[in-house]
Each structure stands twice: as structure tokens, then as C-alpha cells.
Amino acid sequence: MSNDQLRYEAAESPPLPLCLALALIHVLIIFDGILFIPNVLGKSQLIAGDTLRFITFGTLITASIFTFLQSRRPFGIGTGFILFTGSYSAFLICTLDAVKMGGVELVATMTLLTVPIIFLYTFFIRFFRHIITPAIGGVVILLIAVSLVPIGLEIWAGTGKTTPDLTLVKLGIGGVTALLLTVFMLFGNVTFKLWSPVIALAGGYITSALFGQLHFTHTMAAPWFGLPPMVWPGIETNISGLHVPLILAFGMAMLASMIESTGNIMLVQQISQRNFRRVSYDVIQGGLYCDGLSKVACGLLGAPVPSIYCDNLPLIEITGVASRRIGVFGAAILFVLAFLPKAGGFILDMPGPVLGGFLIVIASLLFHAGFGLVRVNKLSNQHGIILGLSLTMGLVAESGTYFGNAVPEALAPLLQNSVAVGGFTAFLLSALAYFMPKKSVQGTLKAELAELPKLHKILTENQRKLDLDSQKLNTLILCCEEVFCHMISSGNGDKQRSLTFRVSKTEQGIFTEAVCGHAIDDVNNFAVPEHFFSARPEEMQQLGMLIFSKFAKEVKQLDISGYSFISFLI
């Protein structure tokens, strides 16, 4: 999939002023979300002021550190793309319940008890490769877009009572912001597209000032520099059966976070590369390990549970800038904001209509990005129905008006959350579809050419079981032989290596997957020699894959945790 609009890929470096400006805009969009749960805790007056300031500081520091790690990917921890971290709204009610039951220290304990869910899923992610696919990730992104629209509209219009004149003013301010962003994004030249978010926000601020809607309440009240009281809340160790419902609530929120983060990492890979070919599950693993560590860090600090954001990712499509330097500078800004309350107050003072109008455009771009992920692989009828049902369930949950009395209050933030319900639905239906009994055969072979007759025998003996006619059998044998030769030609020549072939009959045809425990060359990366009689030996070795490409459909390759997978249809 080609992305010709991308100006700077992740490894490329845009000019410093552009990096700083875009990093600031990324932070502006998500800053309120990063501090969402600390703000709610503050308004609920459930915790002491000193404790609130400490966990707010811890939230910002954690967001800064793990946004940096996501961007740089040291030691394989992180993604190497722009991904910000901050408090996650799905944990809101269970966090409030934990604070009421045992204080902030109980929140820390619940986080640390349930975060292993993230690490277990990440470690065994290769077993979920047929369940959480790019299409499922696309559905999650679409549901995030659905949930973002009412949030943007609420921020735009405000929640208090207003007069008709004030409503028109707010509509105009948000409309100017959204219109400027849309016009420059669609019709601007390269320079205007790069700076369109800055121009749109500047236009929104100027319009707000002209109509008397620009206020600096938080900015004026906050000190310039400050450190919070070092009041570590600690960890609750007295856990009993009374805490089981709370553990289940935190566990469900962890699952929702895990599914959404997987979709976010799939999305950032797709939009941050000019020649996107396939989702890298190794990158997903690195990103989820980083996400899990951020949850551990917040648990140890007593801060609210964080997750990965995608609300700001459409900025990459708007500007064409996916450089990881944006993430690094964004992490630096968050770090500075942790020590400069006045600067943080200035961001919180952004006029609601400006942010709301901006978010509506962001939501529209998330719809585009979600459909792009859904289209990465061809959908079967079964998977199309699964995606449709998942979207429908998410929309029903988002409405919040149906069967409301049947939802337990403690689980309402999850069961009335479109992303959580739609994501769970997609996960469960995909798992059921994958594990449903099928006509299938499997065989494990040594990575030696002498094993080819054994492969031939396995397929021939199961011709009737797979309902294969002679032509399909011969085609299957040919394709499996070429994949076998391709896999054993890569690697270090270890004689202990083995390959496993799994062949099953599906509604699409004969699905085959070959698995080996070593890295192999890209099955799609071969070149045809110009003249066969003068071709080099390494070029002649690629002829088998050329033949394979003529008969196999929907060829995919995945590399996960040192394992390589090639799948195809006949």
C-alpha cells in the first residue's frame, strides 16, 4: 500500500521548527485526556490535595517517559513510531470504586494484579495472529472514531446552559477551526498542509479572542514552577474476597486497553510508512511491552492506569509528517509541563470550541484510517459478518439508551463503551471462527530437502479428507514444495530446525500455513532475472517463488518472536 502523501517517514528528520510546532499540537490535542482521571479524582474530592498533586505529577512523568520509549524503541521496547501515553477513560469507574473502597493505594494494587494480562497476551501474541488481525484493528479504530464524535461535539458546544447568541458564537469558533483545517488539508500546497494544524488553531484562537471567549483561568491560578509534595500513596496488601469484583472490573478494562492498543499500533504502522506492506507483529509486541511497563510504573506511583492514544494520529495524515522526532519532542514537552504548572494551565485553557472543531476533523480522518486497515487483507464472507456485528454492537453500546437497567453500574463504563464492547465482540467471534472444527491436516518436517517426499505423502494421503480433485492436489503440492524450499534456504543451516505445515478447507478455498522457528527472506521480495541463461545462482533460486506466485492467492508473511509464518490460499 503506497502512501505518496507522506513527507517524512519515522526515521527521517524534518526541520526543527516544524518538529517543535507539530509536537506541541499533538500534546494540545491529548493533554486533557492524559490528565482526565486525575482531574475527575480532583473534582470528586475523594483524595487529599497533596496526593492528587503527586499522582498528577506521576501521570505526566510516566506519559513523558513512555512516549519517549514508544518513539525511540530502545532494546525493542516501544514501536519506533509516534505514540503518546496517558490515563485511560475505561478505568475511570473502577478507579473511583477502588479509591472509595481503599484509597489510591488500592488502585495501585489492582493495577499491579491485573497488568500481567497485557504481558501474557504480548508474549503469546503469535497464537492470536488469526484472531486479532488488521481488520479487527480497523474495526477498533472505527469505533474510536464513533466515540470521538460526541466527545468533540460536547467539547465544542459546552455542557452548561447557554443563550442562542452564545451558541452561535461557539458554532462559529469551532466552524472556523474545522474549516481552516479542512481547506488547507485538502487544497493547500505542501507547505500549507504541513502547517495546517497550526493555522487552524491560530484561526480558532483569534476568533475566540474577537468574540470574548478566550480566558486564562487555569494559567493565572497556576504557579510558574513547582514540585508536588512527595506523598507516595503506597500499595494495599490486605486483599480479600471482597475485592474480587474490583479485580474483575480492572481485568476487563485491561482487556479493552489491550485490544485498543493493538489496533492503535497497527494503525500507526500503516500511516507512518510510504510503502506499507504488512503489519509487523514484532512492532506490536514492542509497543505492548512498553504499554505494560507504563502500567506497572503508574501502579508503583499510585497514578491512574495509562494506555496508548490514537486521537492525535490523524495529524500524521494531515501533515504527512510521521518522524519519530515528533514523539521525542512531545515527550520532552510533557516532561517540562510536569514541572511548569502554568504552561499546563495554558493548554487546559484552550477554548472548547477550538478543540471540539479540531476533534471533529480528527474523527473523520480516523474513519478513513480505520477503513484502510480493514482493507489491508481481503475479507471472507464470514469475517465480513463478524466485522459488521462488531460495529453494530459497538454502536448499540455507544448509544447508552438501550437496556440500560440491565447493565451493572460498576461495569457501565465498559459495557456502554463502543470500543470495549465492539472490540470484545470482534475478539470473541474471531476466536470462535478460528477454533470451529474444520477439515484439516498437519505435518512437521525437518528442514532438509530429503523431507520433500514426506510432505508429498502427507498431502496425497489426505486428498479425500480435504475434498481435493487432482488439479487442486497438484497445485497444493507444488506451492507447498516451493514454500518449503524457500524456508529451508534461509537461516543458519541448523540441522535441528523444523517446519510445520497446516492445511485446512475453508469457505474461501484451501488455506495453508507454513511455520518455522527462524527468520526467512521476505516471500514477496524477489526479482525476476532479465535473461535466464545469464542469471546468477541466487537469481535462479527465486524462480520457484515466481512459479508459486502464479498459483497461490492472498500470500501473507508474518514474523513474530523469532517465528516466521507464510500463508496462502488455493
DSSP single-letter state for residue 275: B
Contact (CB, 8 A) for 445 and 528 = no
Judged by average pLDDT, the poorest of 277-281, 293-297, 428-432, 490-494 is 490-494
**Sequence letter at residue 444:** T
- Secondary structure class of 179 (helix, strand, coil): helix
What the chain holds in terms of domains, given with CATH numbers, is 16-432 (no CATH), 440-569 (3.30.565.10)
Evaluate the CA torsion angle 305, 306, 307, 312 in order and state its sign: positive
Q: Name, in order, each residue with C-beta under 8 angstroms of 540's C-beta and a sequence gap of 6 or more.
A: 529, 532
Contact (CB, 8 A) for 230 and 51 = no
Q: How far is CA 307 from the centre of its chain?
A: 10
Chain-wide mean pLDDT for the chain? 83
HEC secondary structure over 16-35: HHHHHHHHHHHHHHHHHHHC
Q: pTM for this structure?
A: 0.78
Greater confidence (402 vs 328) lies with 328
CA distance 363 to 151: 10
Looking at residue 290, its pLDDT comes to 96
pLDDT in tens, 20-40: 999 988 888 888 778 878 877
CA distance 525 to 509: 25
**Which has the closest alpha carbon to 297: 61, 113, 19?**
61
Looking at residue 409, its pLDDT comes to 64
Q: Is 335 exposed, middle or buried (0-12, 13-18, 19+ CB in 10 A)?
A: middle
**DSSP alpha helix (H) spans, 379-469:** 381-399, 412-415, 418-435, 452-461
User: If you average pLDDT over residues 440-459, what whole number do you get?
Assistant: 90
CA distance 313 to 84: 9
Looking at residue 311, its pLDDT comes to 77
DSSP single-letter state for residue 402: S
Looking at residue 218, its pLDDT comes to 67
Contact (CB, 8 A) for 497 and 446 = yes
